[in-house]
Structure 1
């Protein structure tokens, strides 16, 4: 069995697209998954599955959510090894930063630098971003809510045709802990 994180995009924000976590846990269990747990109200769930097809798991969850709640919710499903590799590849000093200063946007497919070519990195300093494996790392020293770079990076033109959802570093570390194989610990620092 492989441990996965399901990352739901845009739920429980200002009362819109309400998906209670207890109902999400029940839904994942009814889909045949084990070890189901959720984290926060913002669309983070972990589960175990014998499947090795992240895309099929995400599609199945999207269909079940739409059937259960009556609205579409884009979902990404990533295994524990991927989550650990993306965290370990963080180009910013994660151990030295507050969780609100560092974010990862997970993408449904690989993205290349050409997509972001129109952004002048110097115009946003000290904020910075770097691309990774189906991920974008954002350093926003004043937090996401005040980040001008985050605003630009989330424009529809840059995310067109791609499922994307962001998590702050605290949530990244918590998902690592929740999906880690038994006996494995993650401290959230780069290795």
Structure 2
């Protein structure tokens, strides 16, 4: 039986770099056996169905395809609808008023306990954050633009690839996974 997934691509169509047209992406992933393919906005949210049940295999397959097809080394993080529903339900910041300021950072791998402890010692006066398994919830209370807590810093400190989505986008991803 087929499973529906979302692939979250890191750092495409940002600041004019690693440009990737979503129509081209949708067409190209048909070559690697993905079906019922769709995308949401230009930031790399790819929905597809496949028989494969191993997300790691799918991440590697898609990353390799993107490298061969577009010559982009793009980190890929894949989640199921159940995983997306779970992280939304477990939001530790339900009081966040502006969904554009509440982000979920998807981590490719679960960080080590040492990395987590070191990360939690960092001080960001305008941000609240909480690490749960392969996700980092961040409430950028004063806005993302001026924050020192960037995805690049998160990757460096937690020693894993990551990609972030704001809460509004995350809710839309959840909705599209149910379609």
Equivalent residues in 2 for 1:89-100 (5 A)?
Answer: 89-93=90-94, 96-100=96-100
C-alpha separation in 2, matches of 1:22 and 1:152: 26
The CA deviation at 1:167 is 0.7
The CA deviation at 1:73 is 0.8
Aligned to 1:169: 167
Aligned to 1:24: 25
Aligned-residue RMSD, C-alpha: 2.1
C-alpha separation in 2, matches of 1:3 and 1:152: 26
Distance 1:104 1:141, change over 3 A: same
CA contact (8 A) 2:154 2:162 kept: no
**1:94-130: CA deviations, max 9, x gaps?**
6x52221100111111124531434566843342100
The CA deviation at 1:72 is 1.0
C-alpha separation in 1, matches of 2:154 and 2:123: 17
Q: Which moved more, 1:7-16 or 1:150-159?
A: 150-159
CA contact (8 A) 1:103 1:137 kept: yes
Mapped pair 1:69 → 2:67? no
User: Where does structure 2 lack aligned partners over 5 or more consecutive residues?
Assistant: none
Aligned to 2:54: 53
CA contact (8 A) 1:113 1:131 kept: no
User: Where does structure 1 lack aligned partners over 5 or more consecutive residues?
Assistant: 183-191
The CA deviation at 1:90 is 1.0
TM-score (norm: length of structure 2)? 0.89
Query: Matched residue of 1:146: which SS?
Result: coil
Number of residues of Structure 1 aligned to a counterpart in Structure 2 = 178
Aligned to 2:44: 43
Query: Matched residue of 1:179: which SS?
Result: helix
Aligned to 1:79: 80
